[in-house]
Amino acid sequence: MAVDKTTTFNSPPSVTVKSLSTSESLELVSSGTCQRFLRRFTAEYVASFSRYWGPVRLSAEDLTNKMKRSGKVMATFDKDGRRGISGLSFADALLQKTKLQSGAVKVEVLYFGDSLDDLVDHTRAQMSHVAAISPGRRITLVLHFPLSVDREAAAATISRDVIKRIKHAEAWPTIHLSSTRPAVPAARL
Domain span including residue 122:
17-188
User: CB-based contacts of 86: which residues, under 8 Å, 6+ apart?
Assistant: 76, 77, 78, 79, 113, 114, 115, 118
In a domain, 11, yes or no: no
| The amino acid at 168 | H
Phi, psi dihedral angles at 61 (to 5 degrees): -65, -50
- Structurally, the chain folds into a number of domains equal to 1
126 part of a folded domain: yes
Determine the pLDDT at residue 53: 59
Note whether residue 10 is domain-resident: no
- Low-confidence stretches of the chain (pLDDT < 50) are 1-14, 81, 168-173, 182-189
Q: What is the CATH number of the domain that holds 184?
A: 3.40.630
Its pTM stands at 0.77
144 inside domain: yes
Q: Is residue 7 part of a domain?
A: no
Question: For residue 4, is it within any domain?
Answer: no
Q: Kindly state whether residue 1 falls inside one of the protein's structural domains.
A: no
CA distance 123 to 129: 10
Encode pLDDT of 135-158 as tens digits.
Answer: 777 788 888 888 889 989 998 898
Between the alpha carbon of residue 189 and those of residues 95, 116, 183, 185, the distances in Å are 41, 28, 11, 7
Position 26 in a domain: yes
Helix, strand, coil percent content, the chain, rounded in steps of 5: 30, 25, 40
